[in-house]
A and B are shown apart, each in its own frame.
Chain A
Amino acid sequence: MEGFHYVNLFATKGIEYLIVIGFLILFILYWRYLNKPAQVKPASARSPLRTLNEWFVLAKNAYYHQGHTWALPEDSQVVRVGLDDFAIKFLGKPDKIVLPEVGSKVEQGEIGWQLLLDSKEIPVVSPVDGEVVEVNQHVLQAPEELEKDPYDQGWLFKVKVPRMKTNLRNLLSGKLAVAWMEDTVHRLRRHMSGELGVVLQDGGVPVTGFARSLSPDRWDEIASEFLMNK
C-alpha cells in the first residue's frame, strides 16, 4: 500500500466548521434570491400559449369565443374582454373602435361592438353576457395598443357577468383553445392556397392585416366567416 497515507481528521476541522456555517448562510441568501418573483412582465402577457405553428399567440388564462374574442376573469364577477391575436393580425389596426357604452348590456355570441376598417364596419361578437362596467379609453385613443399587446394593454372593456360559470363553460380555454386555434390556421391555409401562394405556406409569419392582401375585394366576407358575425 505504498502511496497510501491517513488524513489527519483534525487538521482541517476548524476551517471545515467555518465553511459549513458560511455555506448555510450563503444558502439562505441564495435560496431567497432564487425564489424571488421573477423579473418579468405581468402574468397575462408573460406566459402566452403558442399554437404548434406559432403564428398566433393565445394568453394562458383567457377564455376564448370562437368569434376570436376573449374573456379574462378579474374576479368572480368581472371579466376583461378583448380581441385575440388572430383577429388583430387578420384585420390589422382598425381606424376606429366603436365600443358599447358603460351600463349597456352585451350578450354572449351576439354582436357586441364594431371595428371601422377601410370604411367598412366589422361587427364583433361578445364572448360573455352582462353589463359593461368600464371601457378602456386608452385603447380607443391609441388603437395600435391592440397590436402590441392584445391580451394585456389591449383589453377593450370590462363586463360584470351574472352567470360566470355558465358563460365560461361555453368558451374555450387551455388545450381546447390551442386545438381550436390550430383548426383556424388550417381553415386559413385553405383560403390562402392559390391566393397568397407559397410564401405564407412555407412557415412565413403572416403580416398584420393580411386579410386585405388575401382578397382585396372580399376580405370582409372572409372576416365575417372567421369572426362569426353574420
Chain B
Amino acid sequence: MERTATAPDVRGEFKRFIRFLLSEMKPKGKLITPFNVFAAITLVTAAVILTIRFWKGLGAVTNFSPDYPWGIWVAFNVITGVAFAGGAYVLTFMVYILHLRKYKPIVRVTVLNGFLAYVFYAGALVLDLGKPWHIINPIIGHAFGLSSVLFLVAWHFLLYMAAEFIEFSPAVAEWLGWKRVHKVLESMTLAAVIFGITLSTLHQSGLGALFLMAKPKIHPLWYSEFIPILFLVSSIFAGLSMIILERTISNRVFRKRTSAEIFLTNDAIHFGLAKICAVTMFVYLFMKVIVLVHGQHLSLLTTSWGIWYLVEVVGFVLIPGLLFTQSVRTQNINLVRIGAMMTIIGIILNRLNTSLIAFNWNSTHRYFPSWMELEVAIAILVVQVLVFRWIVNRMPILSEPPRWAQEPEEAIDNRPIKIEEEQEKWKVSIM
C-alpha cells in the first residue's frame, strides 16, 4: 500500500531531477567564440588521433622508442600537471589546519582545479600505457607490483581523487539542492583534507622517487638522491603560482559569477600567496645549492648542460623569487602575476628536464614529440578547461553558496577600532 502511495511522488521527483540535469547540460553563453572554435578543432583532431592510437597502437602516433618509453604525455600532463595541482593541498592545509581564513573564499575553486587536474592527468596515463586495461592491476591486486613506486603513485592518485571529490562535493550538493546530503558531506571535509594532505606530500615526492631508479640515464645536474624532496618543495610554489594564474584569468572570465567577497579579497590573496612562494623558493634554491655542492657537480656548470641548468635555476626560480619578494614589498599586483608566470615556466622546465630533456642525455638517439602527441597534450588541457568552465558556470564555486548552505554570519564587530557598548537608540536617517 505504502509503495503505491509514494511511488508517483518519487517518480515525479526523479523526473524533475532529470529535467533539471538536462536543462543544465545546455550551454550557457555564446556558442561561437574564438576559444570554443579552437577547443572544438583541438578535440576533434585529438579524437581522431586517439582512435588511431588505440586501433593501431602507440607507434602509429608517437615517437616513443625503447630508449624513450614515455614522452610528452607523461612528462608534461602527468608529472608537470601534478606539480601544478599541488595548490590544492597547500591551500587546504593553510585554511583548514592553520586556520588562515583569509584564503577560505578560494578554497573551492582551487580544490576543483586540483581534482580536475588529477582526473585528466591520471587519465593521460591511460593513453600512455601499452595495455591500458592493466591500469586496474595495482588496485584489484591482479599484480600489485609492491616493489614499484608506481604502486604507491597509483593508489595515491585514486585515493587523492576521492579525497578531493569529497572536499569539493558540498558544492555539488548545493547545486542539486540536496540539503541533507550537503550536511553529511560538509562534515566529512576536514577528514578528507587531512587525508588528502598526507597523500599529496607522499605522492608529490613519490613522483620524484620514480627517477631514483634511472640514475645512469639522468644528467648528474638533475639527478640527485634528493629529487623526492626537491619535487615536494617545488610543488608548493608551483601550485600556488598556478592559483595566482587561475585567479587572474577567472576574475576576468567569470566576473559575473564571482562573489563580491572573492573579488574584493583578490589582491590581498595575491600578495599572501606571493609571499609564501617567495619564501619557499628561497628554501628551494638553498636546497639546490646544497645538492649541487654535495654531488660535486660544480665543474659541470660551465658545460652547455650547465648553462641550460642555470637558465632553469637562475632564470626561472631565482628571478621570479625576487619578483615575488619585490611585489610584496611594493604591493605591485602585476609583479605577482609576472612572477607566477615565470615560476610556471620554471616548473615546466624542471619537470621536462628531469623526465625528458636531460633524460638519456648521453644517448645518441633523441626524442622529440610528434605533432600528434603535442596535439593530444593540448587537448587534455582544453578538456580540463571546458569541464572547469561548465562547473563554475553552474555550481557555487566562485559565486556565493545558496543562503541555506551558508555558515551563520560571523560577528560584525571585528573592526579595527573598539567601540564601547552603549544604549541602542534607533533613528531612521533615510527615507
Residue positions of A touching B, CB distance < 8 A: 2-4, 7, 11-12, 15-16, 19-20, 23, 27, 30-31, 33-34, 36, 38-40, 46-47, 49-50, 52, 61, 65-67, 73, 75-76, 108-109, 163-166, 168, 170, 174-175, 178-179, 228
| Shortest CB distance B222–A (Å) | 15
Task: List the B side residues contacting A3 at CB < 8 Å.
Answer: 215-216
**Contact A27/B282 with A16-B294, A170-B429 known, Cβ cut-off 8 Å:** yes
CB-defined contacts of B427 to chain A, threshold 8 Å:
108-109, 166, 170
Closest CB-CB distance, A25 to chain B, in whole Å? Answer: 12
Q: Are A175 and B261 in contact (CB under 8 A)?
A: yes
- Please report B residues at the A interface, Cβ cutoff 8 Å: 215-216, 255, 260-261, 263-264, 267-268, 275, 278-279, 282, 286, 289-290, 293-296, 325, 328-331, 415-430
Contact between chains at B295 and A19 (CB < 8 Å)? no
In the bound complex, residues from chain B placing their C-beta under 8 Å from that of A164 are 419-420, 422
Name the B residues within 8 Å of A52 (CB-CB).
255, 260, 263
Given the complex of chains A and B, what is the CA–CA distance between A47 and B416 in angstroms?
14
Whole-angstrom distance from the CB of B420 to the nearest CB of chain A? 6
A166 to B425, CA, bound (A): 7
Measured CB to CB, the nearest residue on chain B to A161 is B419
Q: A residues within 8 A CB of B423?
A: 163
The answer to whether B293 touches A15, judged by C-beta atoms less than 8 angstroms apart, is: yes
A25 to B255: give the CA distance in the assembly, Å.
44
Complex alpha-carbon distance, A159 and B421, angstroms: 19
Chain A residues positioned under 8 Å from B329 (CB to CB): 33-34, 36, 38-39
CB atoms of B419 and A168 under 8 A apart: yes
- Contact between B425 and A163 (Cβ–Cβ < 8 Å)? yes
Residues of B near A73 (CB, < 8 A) are 415-417, 419
Q: How far is the CA of A163 from the CA of B419 in the complex (A)?
A: 9
Contact B293 A38 (CB under 8 A): no
Closest B residue to A36 by CB, please name it: B329
Do A178 and B296 touch across chains, with their CB atoms under 8 A apart? no
List 10 contacting pairs A-B, 8 Å CB cutoff, sorted by A: A12-B296, A34-B329, A52-B255, A73-B415, A109-B427, A165-B420, A166-B424, A166-B426, A168-B419, A170-B429
Shortest C-beta distance, B102 to chain A (Å), equals 14
Contact, CB under 8 Å: B422 / A166: yes
In angstroms, Cα B282 to Cα A178, docked, is: 38
The interface residues of chain A lying within 8 Å CB-to-CB of B279 are: 31, 34
A49 touches B331 (CB 8 A): no
Are A39 and B419 interface neighbours, CB within 8 A?
A: no
Contacts of B419 in A (CB 8 A): 73, 76, 164-165, 168
Complexed CA–CA distance, A13 and B17 (Å) = 67
Report the separation of the CA atoms of residues A167 and B47 in the bound assembly, to the nearest whole angstrom.
Answer: 64
Known: A12-B294, A33-B329, A163-B423. 9 other contacts (CB 8 A): A4-B216, A16-B293, A19-B286, A27-B282, A33-B325, A38-B330, A52-B263, A166-B424, A178-B264
Looking at the complex, which one of B293, B325, B328 makes contact with A12 (CB distance below 8 Å)?
B293
The listed residue (B215, B255, B296) touching A11 by CB distance below 8 A is: B296
Question: What is the chain B residue whose CB lies nearest that of A31?
Answer: B279
Residues of A contacting B293 in the complex (Cβ-Cβ under 8 angstroms): 12, 15-16, 19
Which listed residue, A12, A19, A40, A65, touches B331 by the CB 8 Å rule? Answer: A40
**Top 4 closest A-B pairs, CB basis?**
A109-B429, A3-B216, A108-B429, A23-B286
Cα(A30)–Cα(B321), bound, Å: 12
A66 contacts across to B, CB distance below 8 A? 430
Residue among B286, B289, B294, B417 making CB contact with A76, cutoff 8 Å: B417
Interfacial chain A residues near B261, Cβ < 8 Å: 175
Question: Roughly how many angstroms separate A163 CA and B426 CA in the complex, as a whole number?
Answer: 11
Asked if A165 meets B421 with Cβ closer than 8 Å, knowing A34-B279, A65-B429, A179-B260, the reply is yes
CB A66 to nearest CB in B, in angstroms, measures 6
Cα(A15)–Cα(B294), bound, Å: 9
Check A34–B278 contact: CB distance below 8 A.
Answer: yes
Complex: A27 Cα to B284 Cα, angstroms: 12
The answer to whether A46 and B331 touch across the interface, beta carbons within 8 angstroms, is yes
Give the Cβ gap from B410 to chain A, nearest Cβ, in Å: 12
With CB as the reference atom, state the residue of chain B lying closest to A18: B293
- Of A7, A19, A33, A36, the residue contacting B296 (CB under 8 A) is A7
Nearest to B287 among chain A residues (CB) is A23
**A49 to B260 alpha-carbon distance, docked (Å):** 10
User: Which residue on B lies nearest to A74, using beta carbons?
Assistant: B417
- Residue of A61, A66, A108, A166 most packed against chain B (CB within 10 A): A166
- CB neighbours of B275 from chain A (8 A): 34
Q: Which residues of A contact B278 (CB under 8 A)?
A: 34
Residue of B nearest to A41 (CB): B331
Q: Shortest beta-carbon distance, B76 to chain A, in Å?
A: 27
B323 to chain A, nearest CB (A): 13
* Chain B residues near A49 (CB-CB < 8 A): 264
Among A7, A30, A166, contact of B295 (Cβ-Cβ < 8 Å)? A7
Q: A75-B417, A166-B422, A166-B425 are in contact. Are A228 and B260 (CB under 8 A)?
A: no
Chain B hits for A11, CB < 8 A: 296
Cross-chain contact B330 with A4 (CB below 8 angstroms) = no
Per the bound structure, the CA–CA distance linking A168 and B279 in Å amounts to 40
Measured in the bound complex, the distance between the Cα atoms of B424 and A30 in whole Å is: 50
CB distance from B13 to the nearest CB of A (A): 35
Instruction: Give Cα A52–Cα B430 distance, bound, in whole angstroms.
Output: 25
Query: Which residue among B290, B330, B419, B427 has the maximum number of chain A CB atoms within 10 Å of its CB?
Result: B419
How far, in whole Å, are A45 and B294 apart by their CA atoms in the complex? Answer: 50
Residue in contact with A38 in the complex, picked from B328, B417, B426, CB distance below 8 Å: B328
A67, A75, A163: the one contacting B430 at CB < 8 Å is: A67
* Given contact pairs A12-B294, A65-B429, A34 touches B421 in the complex (Cβ within 8 A): no
Give the distance in Å from the alpha carbon of A23 to the alpha carbon of B329 in the complex: 21
Give bound CA distance, A46 to B331, whole Å.
9
Residues of A within 8 A of B416 (CB): 61, 73
For the complex formed, measure the closest distance between the CB of A182 and the CB atoms of chain B, giving whole angstroms.
9
Q: Which of A7, A15, A40, A61 contacts B330 (CB 8 A)?
A: A40
Residues of B within 8 A of A166 (CB): 422, 424-427
